[in-house]
Structure 1
Amino acid sequence: MFSDFRNENWQDLKCRVEAEPLPRSVYQHFENTASAYPDKEAWHFIDTETSRTWSQALELVDRAAAALHLLGAREGDHVAIMATNIEEFPTLWLALARIGAAMVPVNARYSPVEVDYALTTSDAKFFLIEDELCSVLEKLVHKAIPNERLIIIGGKGPSGYTRWRSLVGAATGVISPVATPDPERVLNLQYTSGTTGFAKACMLPHSYWLICALTHHQIAATDLARMYANTSFYYMINQRMLVQAMFSGDCLVFPKTPTTSCFIDHLVDYNLDYCTPLLGLMKQSERDKDRAHHVRISMSGLGDMSRGEQSAFHRRFHFPVQNIYGMTEYGVATYVPAHQIIELEDTGTIGFPAPFREVRIFDENGIPVASGEHGEICVRGTGMLKGYYGNKQATRDAFRGKYFRTGDIGWQDERGLFFLVGRSKDMVRRASENVPCVEVETALRLMPEIVEAAVIPVPDPVTEEEVKAYVQLKPGLTPENVPPEVIFAHCETRLAPFKMPRYLEYRLAFELTETFRVQKKKLKSESADLISGSFDWKAKKWL
């Protein structure tokens, strides 16, 4: 297992990195990389075996920017993109960075209701969608994007729409303007379900991406060459990794649809040295190939692993896992120094404050707590979200002064190490996806036969947590009248697959608070086994 990391005290690294000059925009950073490393491979797409050097990628991005300009996209516009990991996704993001517009990434797994929500609440002016995802179009209710501003990427899908390939061809000879580099210009309206309630659009400026990427580039504490983009480019992780790769001309390798089954094969076959590991890997059968890779370091928020699991992971797969604590809103807040990974594994620590970040623990009254005492983890610094788009109240609620309130409970020891106790927000953490309970509850309550619903997380050895739903039927109705199959079929029309409940339990009534809210704490404390007596949708049986 690789262990030759640069040995640098976290305070010294913090001071050094914060003093480094940064480009003023992601596109300027991209141009610098193409100039410094023109012939180095920039990205590789596994399913099509498509590769580009940094100079070729710059040429591709500039052509895409010209096509967007021809379409009518201008500085400040919001452009929604819904795609799997295809080359057009990062190309369009960087093209938007060039012209000063903002991307609204739309999850390829969203239901029509959720796509409608993203398009309307983001004020998207244009919508580019991959051809194999076009079935969602006919199910949209609000039609927020007129047909002339809806572009299909690829040669399949319905007729009557402009094709991205044709638009790029028509833009031959067109040169788009380059927006004046401004680190505080918003580059993303990044939807996150990491806070209580419906997804909110984080306004993430260029400085956010540059600072987050530089931080990860430095805390890896080793030279990297080929990084595995093993999540969807919809998520900020792969976007950050692309900007991170620019600092030394590294290559980002994309699978079209990330899966655990191909994870190790890709690490080995494409000679990758950096990845974000998936917990589901531990559930697969062991193979000799598990250790045949060249991974130097991996990044993951594995502080939630129980004692012994972190070391078991590295013993089996033979690469160190660097604990990171981060959220979409601020990027990375804390990290375990690379040279201390083995020393601190299985302690549950999320590490020391990262460059550009100040981390504090406050009590419920906003008073800093003493070392060893529990409180809410709060983060401040430069290059964080500028707020939630179109939601001033949510923005106000998210901050305590200049500190962003994570909603997570933690503590700090006498060495300065932070520890995560638990997530206080009403959310289920399922296989790296954040599922807001309120969204599932709302979907359930929209069913005429249901009068009340409550959703809680239940532990799961594979996905970390699963979604359990409790429902109270209208008077006179019984589970025989409204069986689980009917309820799950209703949910499938309103929720993405990763938000679907797995377990269902009927209730005659709920205990409510004085404000008529379901007392979820009582639901969670009713039994040590919250699954028994539920209907398991995956197994299609009562437990």
Structure 2
Amino acid sequence: MPETIPDLLRQAARTYGAREFLRCPDATLTFAEADEQSDLLARGLVAWGVRPGDRVAIMLDNTSGWPLSWFGVLKAGAVAVPVNVRYQAADLAHVLRDSGATRIITHLDHAGLADCGTPGFLMDEQSRLTPDVPTEHHDVANFQYTSGTTGFPKACMLTHDYWLRTAQIIADQVNLRDDDVLLMVQAYSYLDPQWATLVCLIGGIPLVLLPRFSASGFWPSVREHGATLTYVLGSMPLLLHKQPPHPHDRDHRMRLVICSGIQPDLHRTFEERWGAPWRELYGSTESGPDLVVPEDAAETVGTGAMGLPPPGKEVKLDETGEILVRGVPMMRGYWNHPEATAQVFRDGWYHTGDLGFRDDRGYLHHTGRIKDMVRRGGENISCAEVERVLTQHPAVLQAALVPIPDELSGELPKAFLQLRPGHEPGVDLAMSVVEHARQRLARFKVPAYVEFVETFSLTPSARIEKRHLLTPERDQRAAPAIATDTPRRETAAKEHS
């Protein structure tokens, strides 16, 4: 196996040459062309003063420029710092300041936002100087920032070895074929399109990159591009499921959908509707793939099983039910956060913060997050559990449950709801959703407050950024929040009107 990402790209260019590699919104490139063009970019970076170990931020949309920049940065011996193009000035300033990035690669569209003291490299700059920068498998390739759903993002230091092992595990899980086409919709700044790029280098297959996720446009794109493999996560499966059935739902080449967090009660429905197996992939930015479900493991459908550890990984449960992992791949640690690194790597194991249990077959199942909880009067409430019930209401598109302080109970659960088209927010609808939850959950789990939102701010992994919901300057109990028990509901309804 090649030792570095540039080695893998050069090997793929020699082996697959003129085969199609990248099918992006702006360009289509062969393996050889991607190697040649990233060489040009690497030469430009070296001429620009980039040295081995320098951090170079990449703030680009889902175009061919993203993977070419990534390859170019790594060929120059530098460290890539992926930046979400949806970041505003404060988000971007945090990443650039925390990472110590000396350069940022961007487009003119983002140049004004990126003008915060870090020199910018526009994509039309090139040089003829030839870089000769040795890189080894244990060198850091990325400062990959975590989603930051509960706090400011931290940079995971991911080595070339981490990336190559991650890609190989997934390539083995999907049993790559010569006629495969892998389609991705997530922002390239997130982990998944990056490992998908390496999977395609391993197998010599095309990567189809869409500009963004669209629930209505996803399956038409699958048919248009002849995609056979894809990966979805977060709220994507539920948003796809809530699209109206279409007579061409099963008219495609898709042979396998990889997914993180398949809703067990909808798993078989997904497979029957779209005529393809859905298989779980569990892991994190910190640890890469930790559990995989093989393509032929049909017995896991609808059970919530997340699979078994791939070669190189060990996974166990501690006495509290937390999922612990060790082995390779694994991040080197959090950049600039030694205390946080020590906290998650205790007793030789990475502590995921996820809770689970093991079934009779040895498969692990996810039961919630340790931190994504509400502590109400001594009772622990899993936010994920309540959110799943809330989104089963016919009017609710997405839901986020968060804790708000309460003098009596310590914390109370508050639900933020995004409605499906055709439904209007109001007290009656709020109470309908709460009654729906009350019929399905213990009373202490039912939201004490409901607030309607037009949309949610999402992380690059399509998860709701809950930290943006609880702004400290506002009273979370006041209008437009609606109290759902009788005394509070009457007060809030008067305020809301």
Q: TM-score, normalised by structure 1?
A: 0.71
Cα pair distance change 1:412/1:175, threshold 3 Å? same
The aligned counterpart of 1:501 is 469
Instruction: Tell whether 2:225 aligns with 1:270.
Output: yes
Question: Is the 1:41–1:51 contact (alpha carbons within 8 Å) kept by the matching residues of 2?
Answer: yes
Match of 2:336 in 1: 390
1:313 paired residue among 270, 279, 284? 270
| Equivalent residues of 1:62, 1:95 under 8 A apart | yes
**Counterpart in 2 of 1:125?**
102
**Equivalent runs, 1:123-522 vs 2, <5 Å:** 123-137=100-114, 143-145=116-118, 149-151=119-121, 163-165=122-124, 167-168=125-126, 171=127, 173-177=128-132, 179-193=133-147, 196-223=150-177, 225-277=180-232, 278-279=236-237, 280-303=239-262, 305-307=263-265, 309-340=266-297, 342-364=298-320, 375-426=321-372, 459=387, 460-461=390-391, 465-466=399-400, 468=402, 470=404, 499=465, 500-501=468-469, 506-507=476-477
Does the aligned pair in 2 maintain the 1:326–1:332 contact within 8 Å?
yes
Amino acid at match of 1:354: P
Q: Structure 2: which amino acid aligns with 1:33?
A: A
Partners of 2:345 and 2:484 in 1: CA distance: 35
- Counterpart position of 2:39: 62
The alpha-carbon deviation at position 261 of structure 1 amounts to: 2.2
Give the C-alpha shift of residue 257 in structure 1. 2.5
Question: Residues 396 and 532 (structure 1 numbering): CA distance in 2 closer, same or farther, change over 3 Å?
Answer: farther
Residue 44 (1) aligns with residue 3 (2): no
CA contact (8 A) 1:196 1:427 kept: no
Residue deviations 1:351-391 (CA, integer Å, cap 9, x gap): 11112211011125xxxxxxxxxx11011112210000011
CA distance in 2, matches of 1:295, 1:216: 17
Contact 1:192 1:200 in 2 (8 A): yes
Give, in angstroms, the shift of residue 135 of structure 1.
Answer: 4.8
| CA displacement at 1:180 relative to structure 2 | 2.1
Answer whether contact 1:471 1:505 (CA < 8 A) is retained: no
**Closer, same or farther: CA 534–248 of 1 in aligned 2, 3 Å:** farther
Aligned-residue CA RMSD (Å): 3.2
User: CA 1:535/1:262 → structure 2, altered by over 3 Å: closer, same or farther?
Assistant: farther
Could you give the per-residue CA deviations for residues 51-105 of structure 1, whole angstroms, max 9, x where no partner exists? 1110111111101111111111111010011111011110010112212211111
CA distance in 2, matches of 1:133, 1:288: 41
2:30 is the alignment partner of 1:75: no
* 3-state SS of paired residue (2:215): coil
Structure 2 CA distance for aligned equivalents of residues 347 and 284 of structure 1: 24
Q: Distance in 2 between matches of 1:23 and 1:463?
A: 44
Question: Alpha-carbon deviation of 1:124?
Answer: 0.5
Q: Give % identity.
A: 28
Aligned counterpart, 1:111: 88
**Contact persistence 1:41–1:250 (CA under 8 A):** yes
1:350 alignment partner, SS class? coil
- The answer to whether the Cα contact below 8 Å between 2:107 and 2:123 also exists between their aligned partners in 1 is no
Give the direction of change, closer, same or farther, for the CA distance of 1:468–1:35 in structure 2 (3 Å limit).
same
Residue 9 of structure 2: aligned partner: 30
C-alpha distance in 2 between matches for 1:315 and 1:505: 45
- Distance in 2 (alpha carbons) for counterparts of 1:262 and 1:137: 31
For the 8 Å contact 1:93–1:103, the answer to whether it is kept is yes
Unaligned runs of 5+ in 1: 1-21, 152-162, 365-374, 429-455, 473-487, 509-525
Deviates more, 1:327-336 or 1:192-201: 192-201
1:532, 1:206 → 2: CA distance? 55
Deviation (angstroms), 1:131: 2.4
Verify the 8 A CA contact 2:65 2:123 in the aligned structure 1.
Answer: no
- 8 Å contact 1:44–1:251 — kept in the other structure? yes
**CA contact under 8 A between 2:12 and 2:204: conserved in structure 1?**
yes
Correspondent of 1:102 among 49, 70, 79: 79
For 1:244 and 1:542, locate their aligned partners in 2 and report how far apart those are by CA, in whole Å.
52
Alignment coverage as a number of residue pairs: 417
TM-superposed CA distance for 1:317, in Å, is 1.3
How has the CA–CA distance of structure 1 residues 535 and 352 changed in structure 2, closer, same or farther, with 3 Å as cutoff? farther
> CA shift at 1:244, angstroms?
0.8
- Unpaired segments ≥5 residues, structure 2: 375-382, 407-452
What is the deviation of 1:498?
Answer: 5.4
Output the CA distance in 2 between the equivalents of 1:463 and 1:215: 34
Q: Within 2, Cα distance between the matches of 1:291 and 1:420? A: 29
Q: Is the 8 A contact 2:264 2:301 kept in 1?
A: no
Deviations 1:164-214 (A, max 9, x none): 30x22xx1x32122x323111000000003675321100000011100000
Give the partner amino acid of 2:20. E
In 1, the alpha carbon distance for the partners of 2:40 and 2:324 equals: 42
Instruction: Give the SS at the match of 1:232.
Output: coil
In the alignment, the residues of structure 1 paired with residue 492 and residue 117 of structure 2 have an alpha-carbon distance, to the nearest angstrom, of 38
